[in-house]
């Protein structure tokens, strides 16, 4: 049985070594880290955010109680409760 296994391995080995192998190189762009983008500080007012970052591309109206407002900039989204920043997140 051991001899049969050795013969089988010996007969298959050259075929395994001659199998064509290929590889593809993929370049991946290094993403900008979220920590590298300037964002308004938590607690900043709407006026302070607009003064520092300019007018947002989109101003979503306030919803709910307490009122939650969302402003969208090219790379970040700022979420306000009343007129204060509660979150500033980087867009994907």
Residue 66: predicted pLDDT: 94
Q: Tokens standing for 87?
A: 């979150």
pLDDT band (50, 70, 90) for residue 91: confident
The mean predicted confidence, pLDDT, of the chain is 83
Which has the higher per-residue pLDDT, 42 or 27? 42
Task: Output the pTM of the full model.
Answer: 0.62
Residue 31: predicted pLDDT: 58
The per-residue pLDDT for range 49-65, each reduced to its tens digit, is: 999 999 999 999 999 99
Three-state secondary structure readout of 17-65: HCCCCCCCCCCCCCCCCHHHCCCCCCCCEHHHHHHHHCCCCEEEEEECC
CA pair distance 30, 12, nearest whole angstrom = 43
């Amino acid at each position: 049985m051991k001899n049969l296994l050795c013969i089988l391995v010996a007969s298959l080995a050259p075929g395994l070594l001659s199998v064509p192998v290929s590889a593809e190189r993929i370049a991946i762009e290094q993403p900008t880290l979220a920590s590298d983008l300037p964002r308004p500080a938590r607690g900043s007012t709407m006026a302070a955010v607009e003064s520092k970052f300019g007018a947002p591309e989109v101003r979503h109206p306030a919803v709910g109680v307490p009122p939650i407002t969302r402003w969208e900039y090219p790379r970040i989204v700022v979420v306000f409760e009343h007129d204060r920043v509660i979150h500033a997140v980087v867009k994907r």
